[in-house]
Amino acid sequence: MASIVNTKGVDISDYQGDINLSKVKSAGYNFVMIKCGQGGNGRIIDSEFTDNVKKAEQLGMPWGVYLFTEACSTTAIKDECDKIDKLLKAEKAKGYRPTLPIALDLEYEYHIADGGGWNESNVKNITAVFVSEMLRLGYYPVIYTGYYQLRDWISTDTIVKCDVWLSQWNYAPDWTRKLGLWQYGGEKNYLESNSIPGVGVIDKDKVYKDYPAIIKNGGYNGWGNGTPKQIDEGTAAQLIIDTAYALLNVDEHPDSCDIMNWYGTFSDDINDVACCCAGQMYLFNHAGALDLIPGGKVADCGSLCRNFYDADQLYGPDEVRPGDLVIFSWSKERSSYWPASSLEYKTLDHVELCVAVYDDTIKCIGANNGGDECDDFQIKTRDKSNISCCCRPKYSDYSYEPYSENEEVYSEDESSVASVQSWLNNNYSADLDVDDIYGPRTKAALVKALQTELNRQCGAGLMVDGIYGNMTSSAAVCLFVGAQGNITKILQGFLICNGYSTNGFDGIFGSGTMNAVKSFQRDNDITADGIVGPVTWMLLAG
């Protein structure tokens, strides 16, 4: 079976009734987490559990389970663990074994007052007991909960022993340590539609680890005959990339440099230190993965190159891939710094994280690369000819594929009405004159493109007529920093055509697009929050 790393799935319960999992799989959702029960002692069995397991098995979809806890005591959580064990042993007797983790679903509003209810002491206790009991019984545990509970109420000692399934409906996960699964949307979904055609509204998830391989090879969940191996500590390349997107437009200390505040030993005054390399150390630390940097944190590209070379993790410019720390040369002259000199690499001038690879360019995120302050993380399109070398961390997965090398990419100086018109012609058969003039036909073509994408991605059922009416307005999705894809690119098209520079026509909602949105909002006397909601869409497209 192919790796499921970085793919999408769903989590389900009897709330969906007799769900058509075949339609879920056909829509591109590759795995499923299935509710097995609920209650302080697991007293309520989900009425669709056994049928949902059977459906997943018949479709060859990797599956795991979760129990919706109301436990507030050691006795209650042990009863829940016992209930999970009995249910999974009954499924194993049928030949069905989960290849995804076993989750404790921890949601505060359902915790009753018995035993003290929802408080830090009880949460720390029941999560610690759950993980210990699941490991004792031979299962692979995860904790499903929100960011603040992970940050404030769950013991570090517990998280070390298990993975995290983060519930955060956002563009990127704010919690990254031991992150195995991310529920990125449910009733609200900022990345895509909240529903699947023929299925309805559904919780959607992303996976960062190759759980079927980890669980089978480790002997978890009934797949082995002995004591399971220690839980894998790996970090996926996509997790680092998602963390980089989450750092865009984040400024914890407006009067000083966030990166050097964390790094130490150097000045933290704004723009006193060129912190591109320290910025990547800051990024990996933010993801809980600083141990992926050989030799520890450094603040210069030469040391970074040498340490990755010593670890046999340094690659040439033609081998670039997403997740690499790419060192650039602006002069393109041969480096005099060892080992780059002996490898005939170019000068070591600047480093950024590669997030996408194309024919002649790569998309990167880094610090000290053109923002107002040196600690601003920005998205940039870089020419491959400027790559000196690539530092590749030892990620838990090496299956992450670059974006299609045939994808059309526009560099920053091509953000013009003409480039928008050309893109609309190539992708939506708009048949526009590429005359660099924003007239009624170009505006209608942008609206048609938006209607097409809302139908394609969200099942909106709109008439593609180029008229931004009430139906289109109701279907338009909210966009803000971190959004990616064709709808974001259409937004950029509207902004560019209205005379606002987005610092790239690339389909990525970065700081350039956010600044353009804010400028447009200010010029139209609406709240300048950088979020594209109904009012902003109407003013742009209506």
Which sign does the torsion angle of CA 112, 115, 117, 118 carry? negative
Place of tokens 């449910």: 186
What is the band of 229 on the pLDDT scale with cuts at 50, 70, 90? Answer: low
The pLDDT of residue 273 is above 50: yes
Q: Is residue 449 very low, low, confident or very high in pLDDT (cuts 50, 70, 90)?
A: very high
Find out whether 178 and 194 touch, Cβ atoms under 8 Å: no
Instruction: Please tell me what DSSP assigns to residue 292.
Output: G
Cα dihedral 290/292/296/302 (nearest 10)? -120
Q: What are phi and psi of 455, to 5 degrees?
A: -65, -45
pLDDT band for position 8 (cuts 50, 70, 90): very high
Alpha-carbon distances of 206 from 11, 238, 242, 398, rounded to whole Å:
10, 10, 11, 17
Per the rule left: phi > 0, alpha: psi between -120 and 50, beta: everything else, 74 is alpha
Considering only 157-161, 399-403, 480-484, which range has the smallest mean pLDDT? Answer: 399-403
What are the structure tokens assigned to 201, written together? 């509204």
- Name the 3-class secondary structure at 183: strand
pLDDT band at 483 (very low <50, low <70, confident <90, very high): confident
Asked if the model's pLDDT at residue 404 lies above 50, the reply is: no
Structure tokens at 314: 């340094």
Position of tokens 């940039």? 380
Q: Which long-range contacts (CB under 8 A, 24 or more apart) does 248-251 make?
A: 248/365, 248/377, 248/378, 248/379, 248/481, 248/482, 248/510, 248/511, 249/376, 249/377, 249/481, 249/510, 249/511, 249/514, 249/530, 250/377, 251/373, 251/375, 251/376
Mean pLDDT on 499-525: 85
What's the mean pLDDT in 39-56?
87
**Helix/strand/coil (H/E/C) assignment for every residue in 111-152:** CCCHHHCCCHHHHHHHHHHHHHHHHHHCCCEEEEECHHHHHH
**Per-residue confidence (pLDDT) for residue 399, from 0 to 100:** 44
Split at pLDDT 50, 70, 90, the class of 402 is very low
The residue that leads in pLDDT, 245 or 24, is 24
pLDDT at 409: 35
pLDDT of residue 173: 84
The answer to whether the CB of 503 falls within 8 A of the CB of 518 is no
| Helix ranges, 378-416 (H) | none
Task: Go through the domains of the chain in sequence order and give each one's CATH number.
Answer: 8-233 (3.20.20.80), 242-391 (3.90.1720), 412-541 (1.10.101.10)
Q: Would you call 522 exposed, middle or buried from its count of C-beta atoms within 10 A (0-12, 13-18, 19+)?
A: exposed
Query: 447 CB contacts (<8 Å, ≥6 apart)?
Result: 466, 467, 468, 472, 541
pLDDT value at position 407? 36
Distance CA 360, CA 78 (A): 57
- Mean pLDDT of all residues in 142-160: 87
Other Cβ atoms within 10 Å of 414 Cβ, number: 16
Is 28's pLDDT higher than 60? yes
Average pLDDT value for residue range 263-277: 73
What pLDDT score does 118 carry? 76
- DSSP codes joined into one string, 16-51: G-S--HHHHHHTT--EEEEEEEEETTS-EE-TTHHH
Residues 515-540, mean pLDDT to the nearest whole number: 86
CA 249 to CA 378: how far, in whole Å?
8
State the pLDDT at residue 166.
95
What is the Cα–Cα distance from 457 to 15, expressed in whole angstroms? 23
Is the per-residue pLDDT at 388 higher than 80?
Answer: yes
Residues 516, 500: contact at Cβ < 8 Å?
A: yes
How many percent of the chain have pLDDT more than 90?
48
| Average pLDDT of the segment spanning 96-125 | 80
Summarize the confidence of residues 253-278 as an average pLDDT.
77
Mean pLDDT across 234-253: 76
- Decide if pLDDT at 138 tops 80: yes
Rounded Cα distance, 195 and 185, in Å: 10
From CA 138, how far away is CA 21, in angstroms rounded? 28
* Residue 115: band (very low, low, confident or very high) from pLDDT cuts 50, 70, 90: low
Q: Kindly state the average pLDDT of the residues 37-65.
A: 90
Q: Is the pLDDT of residue 216 over 80?
A: yes
Can the peptide bond before residue 339 be classed as cis, meaning omega within 30 degrees of 0?
yes
Cβ neighbours of 35 (radius 10 Å): 23
Query: What's the mean pLDDT when you consider all of the chain?
Result: 86
- Model confidence at 233: pLDDT above 60: no
Q: Which amino acid is at 529?
A: D
| Both tokens assigned to 530 | 């950088």
Q: Rounded mean pLDDT of 130-143?
A: 94
**Stronger pLDDT, 395 or 384, i.e. the higher one:** 384
Q: Which residues contact 85 (CB under 8 A, 6 or more apart)?
A: 137, 139
Task: State which amino acid sits at residue 538.
Answer: M
Q: Which two tokens stand for residue 259?
A: 């990166």
Task: Please give the structure tokens belonging to residue 364.
Answer: 């990167």
Tell me: the pLDDT tens digits for 305-354?
999 999 999 999 999 998 999 999 999 999 999 999 999 999 999 999 99
Q: What pLDDT, on a 0 to 100 scale, did the predictor assign at position 234?
A: 61
Contacts of 62 (CB under 8 A, 6+ apart): 1, 4, 9, 30, 31, 32, 56, 99, 100, 211, 212
pLDDT band at 232 (very low <50, low <70, confident <90, very high): low
CA atoms of 10 and 194, how far apart (whole Å): 11
The lowest-confidence range among 48-52, 116-120, 307-311 is: 116-120
Within 8 A by CB and 6+ apart from 394, the residues are 292, 313
Q: Is the pLDDT higher at 298 or at 256?
A: 298
pLDDT in tens, 69-97: 988 889 989 999 999 999 999 999 999 99
**What pLDDT is recorded for position 435?**
82
Lowest-pLDDT choice from 49-63, 111-125, 440-454 = 111-125
